[in-house]
Structures are given as structure tokens and as C-alpha cells.
Structure 1
Amino acid sequence: MNRIFFRFFVLVMLSITAATFVIYLAITRLFGDPLEDIARRQAAAQIFLLEQYVDQAPADEWLTRLNKVREVSKVRLDLVPLIQARKELEPAQMGALDRGEVVLDAASKSFYRRVDLTGHKYIGSEAEVIHAQDLPIDIALALEMEAVRYVIVALALLIPIALWSRSHWQGLQALSKVADDFGAGDLSARAHMAPSASIYPLAERINHMAARIEGLLDAQRNLLHSVSHELRTPIARLEFALELLRGAAGDPALEKRIAAMEGDLSELNTLVGELLSMTRLDSPQSLQREQFELAPALAGCVDSLDPAGPAPLFELAPGLGSMEGDRRLLVRAVCNVMRNAQKYAQSRVALGARRTASGTVEIVVDDDGPGIPATERTRVFEPFYRLDRSRDRATGGFGLGLSIAHKAVGLHGGSIVAGESPLGGARFTITLPG
């Protein structure tokens, strides 16, 4: 919530600040500088004495009244030549001075004003200017008051924004948790919100979507599981019938045909087993976590490989240590990748493993086979996907091994990617959290 609230609050404050500057420029253009108006109000007492007391005196008493004001006021009132005053003023201010107006200089806390435009006050008065200094002008105080107003407005906006953001953020957090749980395999995860919640319509649509996806996946899983189980019975019957037929057969050609049929049945039985394994990998609850040593587990993969294929080269870095997870499932994932590499390798298969500086475990399987095109490296993990079906018939398999490995690694919070091997073939890199 802090990040969204902070960004929204900063946006509002920037908008208010920009609006403040625009208002200031507009008022300055239309009505004059408001800071000068504040300074003029602060110097109003001295301007009033000059205009209503000193200026109202007869010509022979004008200087006398000016001196009296000097005695009782803390403001310095000096007579300076008109030429000197014009040098210290801006061109826009000189016009006001020549018209006999009070020209205020808020920065220096002073003002200028012509003594007389026609020389009626006393001899030479039309060439002199009253320069008042040390006026009680405090623009900083006015700016501080404006800053206080700005802060009060900001706080007044902060409270309702915080309350508004909090209610929205709590709903978004609930939806985020539902998405995380659903993505982790908990298909029953739903968002429970009151109908009065601001994002209740969104939550209802997400719940509807999750229910639809759960229904589809359950139907697919149940169909796959049911079909796989149903296939087991006729397969068993066929195996039994072939066994009886083998015992009764005496023709070598018939026995050869029976052996081929038994091979097909074995392949079909393996496929059913793979399908059942796929259905069991749809949920994290299928994991049986334990602490196990990584190096011996990976070395055990050699027992599942084809003895007639290329012998694998193991390059296990020292200090692999142990990790927590489903040992059987992770070993099977690595073995599936190695069997895939062994099928397509010409003469070399290598398995390497190391623990990175961040603590993650990196397992690499290389081969010197034909490799995998860059455009196909993500699709090879899809169930039943084969790069070359004719070659796959020669090497065996159903396109489920890499898919099972991908699911098994994903259940442990890891990743598996295909790339190009230094040996010239394919490289599969499995990354697992430590």
C-alpha cells in the first residue's frame, strides 16, 4: 500500500504545486505581484503617515512634519536626488515614480516617492525623492504562512487519500494472494469480499474465472486419469492372452509376431504410467519433502540410463551439499533430461552441477546431438511435442519426459531452460532454489 499511496500522494502534491505556480503567474499578470501587495500592506502605516500627515502640511511646514515623523518612527526617511533614485529602479518602476506613486522595493524593505512633481513644496523639491528604509516588511513570514497553508491542505488530502488507498490496497492484496495461491496449484483459492468493497466486481470476475479454470482442469485431469486407469485393464488382459498364446505357439514367425506385440504393449503400458505421473504432478500437495544430499542423488541417475547408449560424464562440483525437496521427483526430472540427451547424442553426454554464489543449485545436461532450434526451445517442454516424429520413432518415447521434468522442477520453485551446448548439441539448465 505504501508504494501506491506514496505515488498517488506525490502526484496530488505535484498537481497542487503546479496549480499554485499557475495561479501565482495568472494573478501576477492580471492584478500585479501578490508579494508586493503583501509588502505594501505591511508598510501601510508609513505610507499613511507620508500621504495623510506629511503631504497635507503647508509648504513652509512640510519639512518640519517630515522631521517629526523621523523622530517617532524607526523607519529611515531620507531625501535623495531624483537622478540617484532612477539609477536604482527598474524601468517599469521609473514610470510609477514619475507619476508620483509609491514605488515599493520589498527585497530591500524600502520605498521611493517623489517629493513634488511641480516644485510647490519647497525650492528644488521636484528634483528630490523620499527614500524610506528599514520598513517593517517580512516577506519570509508571509511565505511561511503560505507554506503552513500548503502543509495543512496536504495533510487534509493525505488522510482521505490514505483511507481510500488502504481500502483499495487491502482488496488488491487479497486478489494478489488468490492469484499467487492459484498459480501455485491451489485451484480452490478464491477472493472473499463484502459486496460493499470497491473492487468487489473485479473479485467476482476473478472468482468466476478461477472456478471456470478449475472446472476445466479437473475435467481434463479426471478424463486423463480415468482413461489411463481404464487402459490398464485391457492391457493386462492382452498381456495375459499373449502369454497364453506364446505357450501354445510353435511357429517361429508367430513367436516373432507375438514378441513384437508384447513390445507394443510394453510401450503402451509405459505411456499409461507416464500419463498417470503427469496427473499426479498437477498439485504441490503431491510433493514429499525431505532433506537429502544432492551429489549421491544425481549420481544415481546413471542406473536409469540405457547401458547401450553413450556413457554419461559426471562433473559434480565439490560442496553441493544438501537441499530440501522431493528426492524421488527431482531425481526423476534429471534422469528424464539425461535420457533425452542420451537418445539424441552421438557419443557424448555430460551432467554438471554446482552451487552458485547466491545459494541456488544449477544442474546442466549437455549432449553432442543435433541440438534444438531456438524457435523450438520452449515448446519441447509441452506434453507430446516432438521435434522430429520420424526420428522419435527410432529413438522411442512419447514426448512426456521433458514435460514431466518441467513440472517437477516447477513444483520446487525452480526453472528449466533449453539452450545450445558447447558440445554442439542441446544444453538443458535446471535451476533450483537452495
Structure 2
Amino acid sequence: MRLPNMTSLYGRIFAIFWFVMFLVVLVVLALPHFDPRKTRDIAPPDYDRMLQVRDRLQHVFSHQMDLSHILERLEERSHRGAEDNKQRLFITDRDGNILSSHRRPDFMQRALRNFVTTIDDPLQPQQKLYGKTMLSGPVPIQLAQGDFYLYVGMKWDEPPHFLLQLFDHPFRLLFAVMLVSTPLLLWLAWALSQPARRLEKAAQRVAQGIFEIDPDLERGTSEFRQAGASFNQMVEAVNSMISRQQRLLSDISHELRSPLTRLRMAQALAIRKQGDSPDLARIDLEAQRLEQMIGKLLELSSMQVDSHLTREVQPLSSLWEGLLMDSQFEAEQRGKTLCVSDIPDRQVICHPQLLMSALENIVRNAIYYSKNTIQVRLEVKANRLHILVEDDGEGVPEEELDSIFRPFYRVSTARDRHSGGTGLGLAIAESAIRQHSGSIRASHSALGGLLVEVSLPLLKDK
């Protein structure tokens, strides 16, 4: 499986993150320059309108030689403009002194005086916001055969008050920008992490023995698309390999039946011709044992073929309740006692026949080799099911505890032919448990015999 290039992926994430942060810082640094209360150049359309106002005034007062009369007319017009939320006009001399017929200056005249002091070059008109009035100027104008400067005050409705508050408090501005950019960053993190989550869930399904391809893995960034395609190819290859191996085992088992049948027929003919003899009886016994082994192999292969593809959610009680009741009945028939704890009310993703066969082989092995008592306990710890099956039999030597799950392995103390069995029961159980991402181990029981402990992952509670 080809893993995503994490260096390239992390590099892309960091590049996007720092680009967004750069934009945030750029906005924070640039926004104050758009504050209308800061002196700035007049836009060409506004400057053209001021020139039109200047030309209109020069035309209206072209024959008026009394400057005081012109100022009174302009102030009357300015006051009417203030009441009608229109423009107000102001005149200054070349030295920047405000010309007015009123002795007591109003707010706008004080604002104009402040604005005039900020003008460095009269040939470069500026504008600045005072309260809700935008002052613009100066523009050269000729009135009463004199040279003066014209300033215009316009009602200003933008920007909204809250933006001015942001301009006055940089930390508020920074907070507002972060408030806008945080959802973008969260969405970016979510979008980049989704393919990783899908790949993680797919790996968890495989760990649980569910070998299914997921088309969604081949979406997202190029690195994860490649990794998803490789992951699906790996799952298909594993499915094919497991299926071939299991079918090979099944075919071999079936093929062994033919020579075994011919052997049994030859043995029957020999008995008919020569009568019973110890040698023929031994041949018959070994043939029976071989038939049992082949039967177990066929059972194992039939259960395992495509078992990794057939998984379903099953309650623990539906899997093992009937099996444990039958085992108790079998133990009673042998004059033994089988004690079973309550089955937890939980669910497991499994191949039902495999898990039922696994526990059946473990419990039957305990019943067979016990003296009087068998105990079966089912416990849930850390979202895993622990099954403990122990008996009071002779047990297994310490050095052989790890070997009893090997196919056809027979414990040294049980090698005599009267002990029965083919050595496949615990091997079948171990294979089934391993296919369900579980574990199985053997140890000495407090009852004096063998303790087999199984651990299986459970479906998480909702």
C-alpha cells in the first residue's frame, strides 16, 4: 500500500495556514488606512464635482465686487445646506484664514480650521471626516477680483459607526478579523482531515476482519487519493489471497477423501478374505482417525471460505446462549458440572458460525478433559469481551501451553490413542478468534486444570 506523502501534505497545510494568517495580518494593517477620519487624497470624481461647484460660484458672483456680501450669501446657503443635509461651502484666504461674517465660529468652522492646518500643499486637495461631515479642499477660486480657496463639507453616511469603533480599537479590529477567519480555518482543517479520518476508519474495519473496499477513500487531496487507491488495491489483494488459500485447503480435503475411500474398501475386502486380525483392526482405526481429521479440515475450510467477507452484527446472547445450554446438558450426561456466568448484553461484528464453533471447541475440550467441574465466565472490560473457560483436569505442562493451538498438536500426556481427538479443535478456535481481531491464550487454572482466555473487540455502545 502506498502511504500519502505526509511531508508534502503537511507542507501544503502549513502553506495554506500561513497564507491565511498573512491575509489576516494584511487586513489588520491595511484597514486603518481606509479610516475616513485620516487625511487622504480626493478621488477624481469628487474632485471634478468640486471644480463644477467652484465654476458655478464664480459664474454666479462674477459681477459681485463686495466680498462681505458674497460671504453672507455663502453662509446662508451653507446653513440651508446643513438643515437639508446638503453640502456646505467655506472660503479661506491664501494664508488659510477662514473668511466669515460671523464672529462666533460653529463646530464646522472649528473642524475646518483643524483641517486647513493639515494641508501641506494647497495644490493637492485632501479630504477628512469630522463627525458626519466630510470636508474636502482646497480648490482655488476667484471672488470679488481676489484669489481665495474653496472648501466643501458633505454629509457622510459611511462607514457605519461600528467600523469606526474598530478603527479606534486595534484589538477589537483584530478580534473581528479573527472571528471572520476562524470559521475559514476550521473548515480548512476539517476538509484536510476528512480523507485521513476515512482512511483511519477503513483501516479499523480491516483490523476487525472486514475486508471491504471504500470508494470514498479515492477522494480529497492527491496524496490521499493515491493512498486510498493503494489501500483498496491491498484489500482486494488480501481478499483474493485469503479466498485462494481457503479454497485450496477445501479442495485438498476433498481430494483426500478419494484415496481414503479406496483404503477403506481395500480393508473391507481384506477382512472378507482373511477375517479379522490385529493388523487390519489397526488399519481400520487409523483410517477412522484420518477420516475424522479430514472431516475437521472440511469443517474448518467450509467455515473460513469467504468468512472475511461475510460479517454481521450479532448480540452475544444469540451467538452462545443455546450453545452453552447444550454444553451444560452434555456435561451433565458425563456426570460433570458446567457453571456459566450471565452473558453480557453487548454486540459484536462477526461471522456467527466461526465464533460459535470457536467457543464450542474450547468448551467441549474443557468438558472432555475435566474431572468434575468446568467454569465459563464472560466479562466486559474496556470495550472488549473476555471469555474464561477453565476446568479441574490434569492441565497442560508449562512448556506446551503455547503449542496447543497448533494444528494436529497433541499434548505429551494425552498422546495415547484412548484420549481421542484430532488436535484440530483448539486450532480451529484460535483461527476463528484471530480472524475477529481477538486473542487467545492458555494458562494454569485455579481449579487445577487448563484455563483458556479469549479476548474479542465489541461493538461500541451508542
Give matches, 1:201-240, under 5 Å.
Answer: 201-240=226-265
Counterpart of 1:144 in structure 2 is 172
Q: 1:265 aligns with which of 287, 296, 301?
A: 287
Give matches, 1:182-201, under 5 Å.
Answer: 182-187=206-211, 189=213, 191=215, 193=218, 197-201=222-226
Give matches, 1:26-425, under 5 Å.
Answer: 141-152=169-180, 154-155=182-183, 157-159=185-187, 161-162=188-189, 165-166=190-191, 168-187=192-211, 189=213, 191=215, 193=218, 197-250=222-275, 255-282=277-304, 283=307, 292=318, 297-301=323-327, 311-317=335-341, 332-341=357-366, 345=370, 347-353=371-377, 363-368=387-392, 369-371=394-396, 373=398, 376-377=401-402, 380-381=404-405, 383-384=406-407, 386=409, 388=411, 391-392=414-415, 395-408=419-432, 416-425=440-449
Cα displacement (A) at 1:286: 6.2
Cα displacement (A) at 1:427: 1.1
* Alpha-carbon distance in structure 2 between the residues aligned to 1:220 and 1:349: 39
Cα displacement (A) at 1:354: 5.5
Cα displacement (A) at 1:239: 1.4
Partners of 1:342 and 1:367 within 8 A in 2:
yes
* Alpha-carbon distance in structure 2 between the residues aligned to 1:318 and 1:140: 71
Cα displacement (A) at 1:350: 0.8
Secondary structure of the residue aligned to 2:447 is coil
Letter in 2 for 1:249: Q
* Alpha-carbon distance in structure 1 between the residues aligned to 2:421 and 2:333: 17
Cα displacement (A) at 1:231: 0.5
Cα displacement (A) at 1:399: 3.6
Deviation per CA, 1:297-346, whole angstroms, max 9, x where unpaired?
A: 313226767988xx53211346889999988765543332134335655x
Counterpart of 1:45 in structure 2 is none
Partners of 2:208 and 2:437 within 8 A in 1:
no
Cα displacement (A) at 1:197: 3.6
- Stretches of structure 2 that go unaligned for 5 or more consecutive residues are 1-9, 26-165
* Alpha-carbon distance in structure 2 between the residues aligned to 1:198 and 1:359: 34
* Alpha-carbon distance in structure 1 between the residues aligned to 2:455 and 2:252: 34
Counterpart of 1:113 in structure 2 is none
TM norm structure 1 = 0.52
Secondary structure of the residue aligned to 2:290 is helix
Letter in 1 for 2:173: M
Secondary structure of the residue aligned to 1:423 is coil
Greater mean deviation of Cα atoms: 352-361 or 257-266: 352-361
Counterpart of 1:23 in structure 2 is none
**Number of paired residues?**
298
- Stretches of structure 1 that go unaligned for 5 or more consecutive residues are 21-137
* Alpha-carbon distance in structure 1 between the residues aligned to 2:362 and 2:384: 19
- Alignment CA distance shift 1:353-1:172 (3 Å): same
Deviation per CA, 1:114-167, whole angstroms, max 9, x where unpaired?
A: xxxxxxxxxxxxxxxxxxxxxxxx9993433343344455455445x24xx42x
- Alignment CA distance shift 1:268-1:417 (3 Å): same
Q: 2:451 aligns with which of 403, 427, 430?
A: 427
Partners of 2:264 and 2:284 within 8 A in 1:
yes
Cα displacement (A) at 1:367: 2.4
Partners of 1:362 and 1:431 within 8 A in 2:
yes
Cα displacement (A) at 1:423: 1.4
Letter in 1 for 2:169: L
* Alpha-carbon distance in structure 2 between the residues aligned to 1:322 and 1:185: 19
Letter in 1 for 2:266: A
Cα displacement (A) at 1:232: 0.9
- Alignment CA distance shift 1:326-1:374 (3 Å): same
* Alpha-carbon distance in structure 1 between the residues aligned to 2:343 and 2:300: 33
- Alignment CA distance shift 1:315-1:342 (3 Å): closer
Partners of 1:315 and 1:350 within 8 A in 2:
yes
More relative contact order, 1 or 2 (CA 8 Å, 6+ apart): 2
Cα displacement (A) at 1:365: 2.0
Partners of 1:332 and 1:405 within 8 A in 2:
yes
Cα displacement (A) at 1:269: 1.2
TM norm structure 2 = 0.49
Secondary structure of the residue aligned to 1:189 is coil
Cα displacement (A) at 1:401: 1.1
Partners of 1:314 and 1:351 within 8 A in 2:
yes
Partners of 2:250 and 2:302 within 8 A in 1:
no
| Identical aligned residues as a percent | 22
- Alignment CA distance shift 1:327-1:194 (3 Å): closer
Cα displacement (A) at 1:248: 2.1
Partners of 2:209 and 2:437 within 8 A in 1:
no
* Alpha-carbon distance in structure 2 between the residues aligned to 1:277 and 1:329: 10
Letter in 2 for 1:273: G
Letter in 2 for 1:141: H
Counterpart of 1:101 in structure 2 is none
- Alignment CA distance shift 1:199-1:147 (3 Å): same
Cα displacement (A) at 1:220: 1.5
- Alignment CA distance shift 1:297-1:194 (3 Å): closer
Cα displacement (A) at 1:428: 1.8
Partners of 1:299 and 1:314 within 8 A in 2:
no
* Alpha-carbon distance in structure 1 between the residues aligned to 2:231 and 2:345: 42
* Alpha-carbon distance in structure 2 between the residues aligned to 1:318 and 1:151: 55
